[in-house]
Amino acid sequence: MSDARTAILGRLRAVGETGPLPALDTAVLERRQWPATERMARLRKGMEAVHAEFLEATPGTWPTVVRAFCEREGLRNLLFGPTSEAGSALAAAWGSGGTQLMPYDRPVEAFKEELFTDVDAGFTGTVGGVAETGGLLLTPGPAEPRLLSLVPPIHIALLRASTIQDSFWSAVKDLGWGRKLPPNALLISGPSKTADIEQTLAYGVHGPKRLIVVLVDDVH
């Protein structure tokens, strides 16, 4: 359809000189700044308001916290990315018995049906958080596949408090996403939800029914 392309761009170009560009005043975005401890509290408040759940942890204890949660909930298995930083640390500390760690180490086509029906929870790391509104930043990829945080009914995400940014705007700039983005990047603020029936909120419509944030306090 290169004809359509030429015709469309030709028409847009035919407009000619379109005038000066208006300036961008980003002061309203720059005002959104908080100290590290407040960022942690804001993120948590924002996410809890949309039903995300939090588990408190420290840099040394978080794998135990994840494990205890899985046992408490009686999860049969936990899907994870064995080569990611968070995933390998989790596997190293897991031990045997109870909830089975299940590596997402093959193409989805090899176990699609199983992924949709037999997985109880998925575990991922994050590359940051957003204090202003609450939210986690993820860059799924070879180490942590895209469906890990989407298909299982529970998503457990590891968040280090030191990586929480002021706003999505400052995160985009700080992480250099404008220069280079992986094939998929995500902001997740809570479990899947809808208000399409009479504006009544219902959780767990297509994606995870629960989002568990393991918040590692490395700022205090």
Partner 1 sequence: MPVEHEIHFRDSAAKALLDPQLRANFRRAMDGLMSKRLAQFPDPRDLQDLRDLSTAIRSRSLLNLPELLEQFEANCTRNGIQVHWAETCMEANELILGLLQSKGAKTLVKGKSMVSEEMHLNDFLEKHGIEALESDLGEYIIQLDGETPSHIIMPAIHKNKDQIARQFSQKIKDAKYTEDVDELTAMARKVLRQKFLDADAGLSGVNFAVAETGTLCLVENEGNGRMSTHVPPLHIAVMGLEKVVARLEDVAPLYAILTRSATGQAVSTYFNLITGPRGEGEKDGPQEVHLVILDNGRSRIYADPQLRATLRCIRCGACMNHCPVYTRVGGHAYEAVYPGPLGKILTPQMEGVGARHDLIHGSSLCGACAEVCPVEIPIPEILVRLRREATHEDAGSNVAGKGTGRTFSEDWAWRLWAMVHKRPSVYRLATWFATRFGKALPAGAPLIKDWTRSRSKPVPAPRSLSERMRAEGGPHV
User: How far is it, in rounded angstroms, from Cα 47 to Cα 43?
Assistant: 6
151 closest CA partner among 195, 74, 209: 209
Number of residues that bind partner 1 (CB under 8 A): 81
Place of tokens 């005043």: 25
* DSSP SS3 for 192: coil
Stretch that binds partner 1, among 54-62, 85-93, 126-134, 156-164 (CB under 8 A): 126-134
Q: Which is nearer to partner 1, 50 or 219 (CB)?
A: 50
Contact flag: residue 167 with partner 1 (CB under 8 A): yes
Q: Which is nearer to partner 1, 63 or 145 (CB)?
A: 145
User: How far is it, in rounded angstroms, from Cα 25 to Cα 153?
Assistant: 42
Say if residues 65 and 105 touch (Cβ distance below 8 Å).
Answer: no
Question: Which two tokens mark 172?
Answer: 């985009």
Q: Which of 172, 217, 218, 219 binds partner 1 (CB under 8 A)?
A: 172
Q: Which of residues 188-217 bind partner 1 (CB under 8 A)?
A: 188-200, 202, 204-208
Site map for partner 1, 41-80, x if CB under 8 A? Answer: -----x---x------------------------------
* DSSP SS3 for 176: coil
Contact flag: residue 129 with partner 1 (CB under 8 A): no
Q: Which of residues 26-45 bind partner 1 (CB under 8 A)?
A: 26-29, 31
User: How far is it, in rounded angstroms, from Cα 166 to Cα 171?
Assistant: 7
Contact flag: residue 92 with partner 1 (CB under 8 A): no
Say if residues 148 and 104 touch (Cβ distance below 8 Å).
Answer: yes
Q: Which is nearer to partner 1, 24 or 97 (CB)?
A: 24
